[in-house]
Chain A
Amino acid sequence: MSTIWQSLYLLVAKGLPTTILLTLALLGMGILLGFPIAFLQVYGYRPIRWFCRGYEQVFRGIPALVLILLFHSGLSRSFGILLPPFVSGLIALGLRSSAYQSQIFRGAIQSVSEGQMLAARSVGMSKLQAVWRIVLPQAFRLSIPPWTNEYSSVLKDTSLVSAIGVLELLKQTTLIFTRVQFIHGSRWILVILILAALIYWVLTYFGNAGLGFLENRMRIPGFEVKGQVER
């Protein structure tokens, strides 16, 4: 029993902080890059739209682990750029997330009907004003439910950076199960993996609960969205 508590403590104390930090950094990077890309993909001039489409297709089309290895070993081998493992993992997964998030935001922006834009223009708003005051507030609300998906997958994708030596939750898990295997035997590997799975599950559950809360708080009476998030 003490082995379980000890392992749980180590996972939370030494692995979890990096995982949380990385998740937050990735989501932030994804919003900061993904939102402008979505915006430009919808409203930009044609060459800009093409560029954004290309960006989104490249980073959605390459497996996350391949991206990580490209930014880690690829950059150092081909160009002599030596990024610390945390940074190369952050860039690779951040670009990936920004591409996915851009499609969430694009979908949300485009699901605000064209008629509203026309109505806003007809009462004298400029195009930018109409986007800022009519389209985006609605799009933001519409993007929360699909965004919970991105949160859930980004959180678990952080485990991929263990491959390049970042000491996060999964890497810490392997260090712990190595030790307990050499001391208590192999069946303990499963116990430690279940502990790690539990931590990921708890993070996913409470993160989504928080986002559901945000969704309900942001709700506007009369704005046509069916149903509430059950909690």
Chain B
Amino acid sequence: MKKTSVIILSLVLAIGAFTLAAFAETYKVASDTTWPPFEWADAEGNLLGFDLDVMRCIAMLQGFQIEISSYDWDIIFDDVGSGRMDIGASGATIKPERELKVDFSAPYWTSDQAILVRTVPDPENPGQFLPEINIVEALAGGYRIGAQLETTGAGWIEDQVIAKGFDASLNEYTLYPLAVLDLINGNVDAVIQDEPASVASATAEDAIMVAGVIKTNENFGFFVAEGDPKGLLALIDDGVEQLKDLGVYDNLIAAYMGTDLVKVEEAWRASIGLLESGDIVGFASQLAALANE
């Protein structure tokens, strides 16, 4: 009799524990992880980046689980909009056309567009480089401009350059890295993309540089399905505010923006255990410290 009650009791406890675990909802996060420093995969295949770590910290704060998937940019809005994926965290600019499909969080980042061009050696300063064409030529001199499909950069070229009668043409790519490759290979003459990613690209090789920045003041937002059926936006917005109050947000910015990618990856692998054990503040401050060492 005693044995039976022990078995029953442990069964009940086990079921209870499972139910509790099940209460920690898992939400599916979609991200185009070809876009450092906001999201990419490190040498071991771990997904990291500013957006993803902000989402991880919010999930820890608000007590839910997330599962991040690598997505192609051009179907992210469809798949979050349809509810197949729960959250989009992919450096997405808040735009009216996109709000037809998805609902955005409060802005968490402001970005401008940058124009990448090929370089030529600077005759005055050996070892230094100059842009092959200047920003005016790049935008209005009859050159071919590359951009990622359905990005705000591509939209800017269409609306502000081509529609206004300046002489330029637009080549669109599904992946941003392929636009950069085509720039270096000479198949396009300039590439427009958000400033942080452009700077990261230009840092990696001497063959390209940022010719100029276009002030667009775009706000990035996380996004969920239209009407927010799972009530996630409040959790995300409140989470971002809490991260700012805790100083975590500034540390994540310090860790990811303008730092060396390899260093950030090493710092991330050394620090992610802290986040997994629940120490959000410790994670962010160690990540920032190691990345800027």
Contact = CB atoms under 8 A, between A and B. Distances in A.
22 contacts: A73-B75, A76-B78, A77-B82, A84-B84, A163-B75, A165-B30, A165-B69, A165-B72, A172-B45, A175-B33, A177-B177, A178-B41, A178-B177, A179-B261, A181-B177, A181-B180, A181-B181, A182-B36, A183-B261, A186-B177, A186-B184, A186-B205
A6 B35 CA distance: 20
A174 B75 contact: no
A176 interface: yes
Chain A CB count within 10 A is highest, among B43, B178, B261, for B43
Given A164-B75, A186-B180, A178 B45 contact: no
Chain B CB count within 10 A is highest, among A73, A162, A176, for A73
Given A179-B42, A182-B40, A189 B177 contact: yes
A178 B185 CA distance: 16
B72 A163 contact: yes
A82 B82 CA distance: 8
Contacts of B207: 185-186
Interface in B131-158: none
B65 interface: no
B36 A167 contact: no
Interface in B1-51: 30, 33-36, 40-45
- Tier of interface size on chain A: 20 to 34
Contacts of A72: 75
A46 interface: no
Contacts of A176: 41
Contact of B45 (A10, A181, A185): A10
A174 to B, nearest CB: 6
Contacts of B34: 174-175, 178
A86 B85 CA distance: 13
Contacts of A106: none
Contacts of A182: 36, 40, 177, 200-201, 204, 261
Interface of A: 6, 10, 13-14, 72-73, 76-77, 80, 82-85, 162-165, 167, 171-172, 174-179, 181-186, 189
Contact of B262 (A162, A183, A186): A183
B70 interface: yes
Interface residues of B, number: 36
A164 B174 CA distance: 12
A162 B72 CA distance: 8
B175 interface: yes
Given A82-B82, A164-B75, A183 B204 contact: yes
B79 interface: yes
Contacts of A76: 78-79, 82-84
Interface string B150-187: 00000000000000000000000001111011001100
Chain B CB count within 10 A is highest, among A76, A176, A182, for A182
A189 to B, nearest CB: 5
B71 interface: yes
Contacts of A172: 45
Contacts of A85: 69, 84
Nearest to A13: B45
